[in-house]
Amino acid sequence: MAEKGLTAAKEIYRDRSKRARELKGEGSKVMGYFCCYTPLELITAAGMIPCRIMGDTKEPTTEADIYLDPVFCPYVRTCFDIAMKGRYDFLDGSLWPTSCDNLINVYGIWEYNLKPLYIYQLSIPKVADSLALNFFKQDIGYLRESLEGFIGREISDEAISQAIDLHNENRALLRQLYELRKPDPPLLYGSEVIQILVAVMSLPVAEANQLLRGVIDEVRARHDGPKRKSARLLISGNELDDSTFIELIEECGANVVADDLCIGTRFFWYDVEKTPDPLDGIARRYLGDIRCPRTYRGNPEMTRRQEMEERFNHIRDFVNQFDVNGAILYILKYCDSEEWEAPDLRDYIQEELGLPVLHIEHDYSTVALAPWRTRVQAFVEMVG
């Protein structure tokens, strides 16, 4: 990378597949993946480059409409659409966690139509108890064997342990980046954070770590960051890999200082514990620590208040750590998991944390955001 720091991150954000295509041309294998539940350590340990599959918020879906119902996750739809148009032809394969019904359904359609060299569906339990953890560890072991067959060599425990160290370093650097959002004013824009995260997910982990170190040093030293604003917002939802909506919030007079997003804290907030069998630590981190509504965290013996605290106490932590005074739920249409959770999350933030909430249901596209501007502007004025 010729550029460094924020300039480099924004350049990668604008052309997400450029570096992966370059490395592919140099002989590296590139493995696409969906969702935070994909154990990236196994991809890295196999000597391949993990590359997060994202859609295009400005590209009209045409090819995907032939195969998918209108009432279908717009994010998965556009990912499949641009893949059918050849924009993921550099991938050697892809990993598909069973995170939601839409990914489960498109897996077979992707395999049949695109005929990838490699594709694997990783089973993710819906709960995180001991039986589920054992099941998940077993399937991670099957994934390991499958990847070994694809690359033609063993993936050793030592290689996995080294990959865990690399990815934990990546997570630590991202947490350092988020520390820079805590001051008032924050030292970097929320829109910049999204761009940096997208760049990180588009690079080999060692290069991503190098990029993050440069970004952190630059942000700490610069004097042209965000101005102090009365509204300090948290945004919660699922797939938000385009900075346009965050820029709209900033234009309306707020700073976005925290998140509970797939392209955000769910990706990096917790490390993989180093364990004698590395698959134990991987299973615990990915199934036990990621706070996504698709995994149930309550139990029948809890009161409603206890259950909500168990499910949402990480939001309380974010609100306190980042001095948040308002929240936006920015949720994809037709996302059953997020939509099912949204009423309880809204009630928790309003009643338990005492903060105002704006709930927006979106279709992943950023082409027509004008209708949201009035709502966001009014919300920011109310918070401020």
Which pLDDT belongs to residue 2? Answer: 54
Degrees (nearest 5) of the Cα angle 116, 27, 278? 75
- Measuring CA to CA, which residue among 133, 124, 161, 167 is closest to residue 278? 161
**What is the pLDDT of the chain when averaged over all its residues?**
96
- Model confidence at 368, pLDDT cuts 50, 70, 90, reads confident
What whole-number percentage of the chain has pLDDT above 70? 99
- Is residue 297's pLDDT more than 90? no
pTM for this one? 0.96
The gap from C-alpha 329 to its chain's centroid, in whole angstroms, comes to: 15
Q: What is the pLDDT of residues 48-100, one digit of tens each?
A: 999 999 999 999 999 999 999 989 999 999 999 999 999 999 999 999 999 99
**Strand order in 93-97's β-sheet?**
49-52, 30-33, 93-97, 118-122
Does residue 1 register a pLDDT over 70? no
CA–CA separation, 116 and 109 (whole Å): 11
Could you tell me the two tokens for 192?
């910049």
- Residue 358 three-state SS: strand
Percent of the chain with pLDDT over 90: 92
Span 200-218, pLDDT tens digits: 999 999 999 999 999 999 9
pLDDT digits (tens, 9 = 90+) for 207-256: 999 999 999 999 999 999 999 999 999 999 999 999 999 999 999 999 99
Provide the pLDDT for residue 369.
84
Which one-letter DSSP state was computed for residue 274?
Answer: P
What would the pLDDT profile of 95-152 be if each residue is shown by its tens digit?
999 999 999 999 999 999 999 999 999 999 999 999 999 999 999 999 999 999 999 9
| Domains in the chain, CATH or no CATH each | 1-384 (3.40.50.11900)
The H or E element spanning position 97 is: strand 93-97
The tokens for 214 are 């440069």
Residue 266 — very low, low, confident or very high, per pLDDT cuts 50/70/90?
Answer: very high
| Separation CA 187–CA 190 (nearest Å) | 10
